[in-house]
Amino acid sequence: MSISYCKEKKLWILETKNTSYVIGVDEENNLQNVYWGSKLPYIGDYSPADISKGHSSFDFREGFANLEFPAWGGLLYSEPCLKATFSDNVRNLSLKYDDYEIVRNSENVSDESMSELRIDLKDSLSYRLRVRLYFRIYEEFDIIEKYAEVINEGEQPVTLESIQSGAWYLPEGMDYRLTHLIGRWSGETQLRQTFLTEGKKVMESRRGTTSPHANPWFAIDNGKADEDYGSVWFGALAWSGNWKMVFELSSFGQLKITGGINDFDFSWHLKPNCTFTTPVFTAGYTENGFGSASRLMHSYQLKHILPKEHASEFRKVIYNSWEATYFNVNAENQRSLAEKAASIGVEVFVIDDGWFGERNSDRAGLGDWFVNRNKFPDGLAPLIKTVNELGMDFGIWVEPEMVNPDSKLYREHPDWVYHFPGLPRTEARNQLVLNLARDDVKQYIYNFMDKLLGENNIKFIKWDMNRHFTEPGWPEAAAEEQKEIWVRHTLSIYEIVERLKAKYPSVVFESCSGGGGRVDLGILRRMDEFWPSDNTDAFDRLKIQEGFAYAYLPKAMVAWVTDSPNWLNGRKLPLTYRFHSAMMGTLGIGGNLNHWSEEELKTAKEMISLYKEIRPIVQEGNLYRLLSPRTNEVAAVEYTAKDGSEALVFAFLHSSQFGVGSKTLYLKGLESKALYKVEGSDGLTSGAALMKKGLEVNLKGDFDSKLIRIKKVDYI
C-alpha cells in the first residue's frame, strides 16, 4: 500500500516509486509536512511532527512549522492557504486535525495507479468551517496532487478572501534556485533561473487567464542540478484563470511554496452547506535532474491529464490557413489550399479566423457565429465535403469568450460584457470580454458551439482568446459576489468544453490565446493540445519549445511550418530546418501552399511522411535535452521510443564560425550494451559509445539542421 498511517507517530507516509511525502499531527493538532524527498529505507527515519521549535516571542510555533494548510489567524504571518471573514466580522482561523481516510480504487478514485488520502481539518474556534485536504499519489511518476475543499458547515455565509490549493516545503538549509517560465506574446515559455533570497518571489496572472507572461510551473534545486543529476522539486498548477504562486523564504531558512487561485481582487461568498473546491496543485521530486523532472511530467500528463477521448491517439498533421489567407478566407481559396494540403499528406484542414459574421478584419464580427455568406455562399458544407473527400478532417477557429462592439451580438446585448456602469469599456484588439459568470452568456456560447458542431462534420476546434480582462464588473450580481467573476469565468469555460466533449467526443480541441497564453494543466485536462505561440519562426521556436517542454508534453505542442521569410521577423530559413523544428512536437503546416514550388511541395510531402513514421517517438517517447538553444551554437534534442527500439536526434546550427563544421553530441537514454544503426553511417555502434564517446554531427553554414534516426538492431 503506497499510503500508510503510523498510529504511534501519527504520521501518514505517502510513497511513490522513488519518493516519500510524510505528513504528521503535532501535540497541538496542527497538520504538518515532515518530509518530502527521496524514499528513506527505514520507517524510524521519519520523525513525528512537533511544535517545540521556536526562536523568541516574535517567532515561534506556526512561524516554524511546515503547516500543510496554513490558515490566517493566530501567529501566522506568512502566506496563508486560507483567509476568511465570518459573518460577525471575525477574521481568524485555527485549523486543527479532525479525521482522515485512505481511499484506493473507490468510486472516486477510478484510476488504479493512483491512491488518495483525505485529511479533514476543522476550525477549532467554534466556527463551523471544515477544510478537506486531498492528496493523490501517482506512484509510477513520483508525483503528488493536492487540492482542498472548504465546506461551510455553519448557519451563516463565510467570505473567502484567499483560498490556495496547498503548500509545499523543501528541506531546510539549501541554496534554493528557482527555474520558471516567463514570456509575452510571440515570445512565450522562456526559461529563467534565479536564486531565492529571503522574502517572496511571486509569479502570477491578474489578467483573467493564464497569460503568456508567466506560466504556472516551477522547479527548485540547490543550484547544482543539471539535466541528468541532482535533486529537483517541480510542480504546476491546474488553473486557467488568475493564478498565483508564492515562493517565500523566511529569515529562518524555511522555503514555503503556495499556489492556487490569485487572491488579488478575489472573494467568494460561501453560503451555508456549500463547498468551494480549489484547483489541483501537482508536484513531484526527482534525484535525476531537470531532464527527469520533465519526463515525469510528460508521462504523467500523457497518462492522467490529457482528455481521455484522444489521449492514446497520435496527433494528426494539421494544415491551418491563417498565415496564408488571414481574414480573406473564402470557399475558393480554402478549397485550393485544401487540395494542396491533402496532396502533401495533411490529415486535418483547419480554417482560422474570418469565416463568420462581418469578420473582414479584427475590427468587427466577433460574437456573430454564423457563416459569412459573401465568403461561403453555400455555407461551410461544400468545403467540408471537399475536405472530407480529400481524406482530411475539417477543423475551425472560434473565439467564444469575445465580442467586437461592431457586431450584431453586442448591439443586442451590450450588457453581456464585463463592465462598470457608466465607465468606458477598454477595448483591446477592438474587442471586449463576455461575462461568462452570467448563465445566459454561458448558455449562448454552449448553444452556438453545439449548433456549429451539430450541423457540420467538424473534428477539430481551435479555441482562441485574444485579449485580457479589464473593468471586471458584473452589475447584476449581488455586492458580495462581484469578485467571483475571475473564478466563475474559468469554471464556465471548463464546463462548456466538458459538455461539448461529452456530446462530441470525436472533436479535438486546441487551446490558444494569441499563441501560448492559455497553457496550463487545467485546460490540458479539457483540451487536447496547445498552440504555443504565434511566433512561427523556426529558430525562435527552438527556445519557445524548449521552455514549453520543460513543463508540458511534446504531444500537446503544435508547431507549423510556415513561409520564408517569416512574417514576424523576416528571417529566411531552409524548408528542412523549418520542418525539423516543427517536427519536435505535433507537426502542422501554416504556409501559403499556393506559393510553394513543386520542389518545396515534394520536400514537404517527404517530410510529412517521415514525421508520420516517427511521431510515436516524438509524441509519446522520452525527451532528452542535449544542447540548449539558450547557450549553444548548436541546439540538440533527442527523443527515445518508449520501448527503446529507436532514438531520434534533432540538431540545429545557428551560424558556423571559424571553420568548425561538426559537433559531438553525447546521447542519452540508450542501452549501453545494445548495438545501434545510426542513419547515414556505416556499421553499428554500441549504446555506450553513443553516450560516452558521442555522435559526431556535421552541420555547415548558417541555419543548418539534421534529423538523425538511430535504430537498435542487436546486442553485444
Distance CA 176, CA 461 (A): 41
Which CB, 12 or 322, lies closer to ligand GLA? Answer: 322
> Is 462 among the annotated ligand-binding positions?
yes
Q: Does residue 353 bind ligand GLA (CB under 6 A)? A: yes
465 assigned to a ligand binding site: yes
Q: Is there binding between residue 352 and ligand GLA (CB under 6 A)? A: yes
- Please report how close the Cβ of residue 561 comes to ligand GLA at its closest, in angstroms: 15
The CB-of-188 to ligand GLA minimum distance in angstroms stands at: 11
Centre a 10 Å sphere on the Cβ of residue 571 and count the other Cβ atoms it contains. Answer: 13
173 is written with which cell numbers?
A: 538549509
Do residues 183 and 516 lie in contact, with contact meaning Cβ atoms separated by under 8 Å? yes
Contact 14, 117 (CB under 8 A): yes
In the bound complex, what is the minimum distance in angstroms from residue 212's beta carbon to ligand GLA? 10
Task: Candidates 84-92, 131-139, 223-231, 510-518: pick the segment binding ligand GLA (CB under 6 A).
Answer: 510-518
CA-closest candidate to residue 432, choices 404, 411, 412: 404
Residues 597-626: x where in contact with ligand GLA by CB under 6 A, - otherwise, as a string? ------------------------------
Taking the complex as a whole, the smallest distance from the CB of residue 349 to ligand GLA amounts, in Å, to 15
Is residue 522 a contact residue for ligand GLA (CB under 6 A)? no
Residue type for 428, please? A
Q: Say whether 294 sits in a helix, a strand or coil.
A: helix
Nearer to ligand GLA, 322 or 410 (CB): 322
DSSP, res 47:
P
Give the relative orientation of helices 538-551 and 289-300 as an angle to the nearest 10 degrees: 80
Q: What 3-state DSSP class applies to 452?
A: helix
* 464 in contact with ligand GLA (CB under 6 A): yes
Which of residues 558 and 678 has its CB atom nearest to ligand GLA in the complex? 558
CA 264/CA 278 separation, integer angstroms:
16
Pick the stretch among 101-109, 493-501, 512-520, 580-588 that binds ligand GLA (CB under 6 A). Answer: 512-520
CA distances from 464 to 92, 287, 397, 468 (A): 42, 38, 7, 12
* 432 or 699: CB nearest ligand GLA: 432
Question: What pairing do the DSSP bridges indicate for beta strands 558-561 and 586-589?
Answer: parallel
What distance in Å separates the CA atoms of residue 481 and residue 476, rounded to the nearest whole number? 10
Residue pair 333/604 in contact by the 8 Å Cβ criterion: no
Min dist CB 461 to ligand GLA, Å, is 12
Helix ranges, 231-288 (H):
none
By CB neighbour count within 10 A (0-12 exposed, 13-18 middle, 19+ buried), where does 28 fall?
A: middle
Paired with 134 in beta bridges are 118, 147
Task: Based on the shown chain and the rule CB under 6 A, indicate whether residue 515 belongs to the binding site for ligand GLA.
Answer: yes
Judged by beta carbon, residue 552 or residue 703, the one nearer ligand GLA is 552
How many Cα neighbours within 13 Å face the side chain of 583?
Answer: 31
DSSP 81-122: SEEEE-TT------EEEEEEEEEESSSS---TTEEEEEEEEE
Q: Is 466 annotated as a binding residue?
A: yes
Residues in contact with ligand GLA, counted by CB under 6 A, come to a total of 11
Kindly tell me which of 307 and 365 has the beta carbon lying closer to ligand GLA: 365
Told to judge if 228 belongs to the known catalytic residues of this protein, a careful annotator would answer no
Q: ∠ at Cα 73 (13, 52), nearest 5°?
A: 50
Q: Which is nearer to ligand GLA, 212 or 235 (CB)?
A: 212
464 assigned binding-site residue? yes
386-405 residues in contact with ligand GLA (CB under 6 A) are: 397
Contact call for residues 114 and 137 (beta carbons, < 8 A): yes
For residue 222, give the amino acid letter.
Answer: N
Q: Which is nearer to ligand GLA, 494 or 530 (CB)?
A: 530
Minimum CB distance to ligand GLA smaller for 279 or for 585: 585
In the complex, minimum distance from the CB of residue 573 to ligand GLA, in angstroms, rounded to a whole number: 19
Q: Cβ of residue 552: shortest distance to ligand GLA, in angstroms?
A: 17
Q: Does 349 bind ligand GLA (CB under 6 A)?
A: no
Candidate residues 466, 564, 619, 656; the one interacting with ligand GLA per rule CB under 6 A: 466
Q: Please answer whether residues 152 and 314 qualify as being in contact, where contact means their C-beta atoms are separated by less than 8 angstroms.
A: no
Q: Is 646 in the site for ligand GLA (CB under 6 A)?
A: no
Q: Residue 525 annotated as binding? A: no
The span from the CA of 550 to the CA of 124, in Å, is 42
Closest approach of Cβ 318 to ligand GLA, in Å?
12
> How many Cβ atoms from other residues are within 10 Å of residue 109's Cβ?
13
> Quick one: which segment of 145-153, 225-233, 442-450, 509-517 binds ligand GLA (CB under 6 A)?
509-517
Q: Which of residues 283-342 bind ligand GLA (CB under 6 A)?
A: 322
Instruction: State yes or no: residue 548 binds ligand GLA (CB under 6 A).
Output: no
Per the listing, cell 507516509 goes with 13
Closest CB to ligand GLA belongs to which residue? 353
| Of 222-230, 303-311, 507-515, 677-685: span binding ligand GLA (CB under 6 A) | 507-515
Identified catalytic residue from 464, 537, 540, 704: 464
- Does 514 bind ligand GLA (CB under 6 A)? Our answer is yes
Residue type, 1: M
Q: Does 26 bind ligand GLA (CB under 6 A)?
A: no
234, 532, 533, 563 from 590: Cα distances, Å: 34, 14, 13, 8
CB atoms within 10 A of CB 467: 22
In the residue annotation, 464 being an active-site residue is answered as yes
In Å, what is the CA distance from 278 to each residue of 250, 302, 307, 374?
25, 23, 20, 47
Task: With contacts defined by CB under 6 A, name the span among 297-305, 447-455, 485-493, 508-516 that binds ligand GLA.
Answer: 508-516
* Cβ atoms of 57 and 156 closer than 8 Å: no
Q: How far is the CB of 534 from ligand GLA (least distance, A)?
A: 5
463 is in an annotated binding site: yes
State the Cα torsion 583-585-587-590 to the nearest 10°. Answer: -100
Question: Closest approach of Cβ 466 to ligand GLA, in Å?
Answer: 5
352 annotated as ligand-binding: yes
Q: Which of 180, 248, 247, 187 is nearest to 218 (CA)?
A: 180
> Which residue's CB is nearer to ligand GLA, number 165 or number 240?
240
User: Is 21 near ligand GLA (CB under 6 A)?
Assistant: no
Residue 331 CB, shortest distance to ligand GLA, in Å, is: 19
Which residues are 712's β-sheet partners?
A: 676
- Closest contact distance (angstroms) between CB of 519 and ligand GLA is 12
Q: Tell me whether residue 6 is annotated as binding.
A: no
Instruction: Using CB under 6 A, pick the residue from 62, 534, 620, 646 that binds ligand GLA.
Output: 534
Q: Please, which residue, 139 or 353, has the CB nearer to ligand GLA?
A: 353
The catalytic position among 221, 534, 537, 540 is 534
Q: Which stretch binds ligand GLA (CB under 6 A): 126-134, 209-217, 276-284, 511-519?
A: 511-519
Q: From the CB of residue 111, how many other CB atoms can be counted at a distance below 10 Å?
A: 14
Q: Judged by CB, which is closer to ligand GLA: 366, or 551?
A: 366
Which secondary structure element, helix H or strand E, spans residue 223, and what is its range?
none
Distance CA(272)–CA(270), nearest Å, equals 7
Q: Which of 14, 558, 585, 551 is nearest to 296 (CA)?
A: 551
Q: How far apart are CA 325 and CA 352, in angstroms?
A: 9
- Give the annotated binding-site residues: 185, 352-353, 429, 462-466, 512, 534
List of residues contacting ligand GLA (CB under 6 A): 322, 352-353, 397, 464, 466, 512, 514-515, 531, 534
Annotated binding-site members for substrate: 185, 352-353, 429, 462-466, 512, 534
Catalytic residues: 464, 534
